[in-house]
Amino acid sequence: VGVSAVATLASGFTGGIEITQISAEVDGTDDDADIMHYGLGFGYETGPLAMHINYGLFEGDDIADFDGIGVAVGYDLGGGASVLAGYNNSNYLDDDLDYDTFSLGLSMSF
């Protein structure tokens, strides 16, 4: 079960929020885990440049709580080609584990 809301402004800004409740089987047990996910995101687009930042948090029983932040940037090169870059930082809150991931790519549409 989830609820979300998104707003887009004429100036190129967007924002969104979501809350989701998940009930899922826990591997190796007969128990179900009740998990909550909260998400918040903001974006801005001007000309060929698009940027987005988001935050998410998972918490619940029988799972490790974790959160993360992500940043994505895209630049339209024209002719159906775009350069895309991304960064993510994930934190497993119960174990103090921290992970960073990066991406870089080229999108082509013919």
**What is the pLDDT, as a whole number, of residue 95?**
73
In contact, 68 and 59? CB cutoff 8 Å: no
Query: What tokens does 83 get?
Result: 């350069």
Whether the model pTM is above 0.75: yes
- 13: CB partners within 8 A, 6+ apart: 42, 43, 44
**What is the pLDDT, as a whole number, of residue 26?**
67
Query: What tokens does 15 get?
Result: 């924002």
Segment 28-43, tens digit of pLDDT: 666 777 889 999 999 9
Segment 26-83, tens digit of pLDDT: 666 667 778 899 999 999 999 999 999 999 999 887 677 889 999 999 999 999 999 9
